[in-house]
């Protein structure tokens, strides 16, 4: 409960800052978004029965510092690259920037033009992390890839009904083809929907839960997710102070809610679908 109250206090302070600045219109949107998150979280608690999460095997527990170190390094490097792509910073991370460019060039050659960057993100944020953590003896279930808990698909219906209605409205009443919407959904799935959910709600949340209460693990990964997107916020607001104010209502609140959804359903598939559809709707509407 303390983690939730702290997040609520940070959210309120951030909203006040945004309401007194040039982003007051967006502050109202984020207030409505927070109400949507709270409503869906409350219903999810009513319909789901979270699975028991077994403790790490002894060998995995011994490797926990190495697992966390490797994971945090990848998060730092990919966040740095994200800020670089958003033109929020100009300094490139040594060696990693070369790897990122080579991956981008390779995927641009083998994937459709609009999917190349998304596939690069998927390779860095999912495939690399999956291989590293698997080599360090982290089971798939501890990366958000376990079995579904009872009530999971009822929770999916709760979270997805409004985003899917928005997608349907776009197809039916906007001058947008179903094929274009489908490509946007595929792009969102690989670039943000599954990639970011796996990195933060799967890998990081799973590792943090191994040594701290779930509420604080959710809070910590939500803050990490928000800071990771700081470069995007700078590019959007053109102001570092406003970018920091955006972190809690724009990213951390959502990250906390998705961690709760993973915890209650036992798998990150539903958060990935929610993230994918919301990201696509944001691009389309």
pTM of the model: 0.94
Q: How far is CA 90 from CA 48, 83, 105, 112, 228, in A?
A: 45, 9, 20, 28, 16
Residues 21-63 pLDDT 10s: 888 888 999 999 999 999 999 999 999 998 877 788 888 889 9
Rg of the chain, C-alpha, whole Å: 19
Q: Which two tokens stand for residue 284?
A: 């389309």
- For the ranges 57-66, 126-135, 164-173, the one whose mean pLDDT is highest: 126-135
Outline where 86-196 has alpha helix (H): 96-110, 116-122, 128-135, 152-173, 178-188, 194-196
Q: What is the mean pLDDT of the chain?
A: 91
Residues 219-244 pLDDT 10s: 999 999 999 999 888 888 888 888 89
Q: What pLDDT shows up at residue 43?
A: 96
* CA–CA distance, 205 with 193 (Å, rounded to integer): 16
pLDDT greater than 80 at residue 208 = yes
């Amino acid at each position: 409960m303390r983690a939730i109250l702290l997040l609520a206090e940070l959210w309120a302070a951030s909203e006040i800052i945004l309401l007194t600045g040039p982003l007051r219109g967006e502050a109202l949107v984020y207030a409505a978004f927070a109400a949507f998150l709270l409503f869906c979280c409350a219903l999810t608690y009513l319909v789901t029965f979270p699975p028991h999460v077994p403790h790490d095997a002894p060998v995995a527990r011994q490797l926990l510092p190495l697992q966390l170190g490797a994971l945090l390094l990848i998060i730092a490097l990919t966040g740095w690259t994200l800020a670089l792509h958003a033109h929020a910073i100009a300094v490139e991370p040594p060696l990693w920037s070369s790897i990122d460019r080579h991956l981008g060039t390779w995927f641009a050659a083998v994937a459709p033009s609009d999917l190349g960057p998304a596939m690069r993100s998927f390779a860095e944020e999912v495939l690399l992390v999956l291989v590293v953590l698997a080599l360090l003896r982290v089971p798939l279930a501890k990366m958000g890839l376990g079995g579904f808990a009872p009530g999971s698909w009822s929770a999916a219906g709760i979270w997805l009904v409004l985003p899917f209605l928005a997608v349907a409205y776009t197809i039916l009443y906007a001058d947008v083809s179903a094929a274009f919407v489908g490509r946007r959904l595929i792009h969102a799935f690989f670039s943000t929907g599954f990639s970011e959910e796996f990195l933060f709600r799967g890998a990081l949340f799973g590792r943090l839960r191994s040594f701290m209460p779930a509420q604080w693990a959710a809070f910590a990964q939500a803050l990490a997710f928000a800071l990771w997107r700081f470069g995007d916020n700078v590019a959007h607001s053109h102001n570092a102070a406003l970018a920091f104010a955006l972190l809690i209502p724009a990213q951390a609140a959502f990250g906390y809610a998705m961690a709760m959804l993973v915890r209650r359903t036992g798998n990150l598939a539903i958060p990935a679908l929610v993230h994918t559809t919301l990201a696509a709707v944001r691009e389309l509407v």
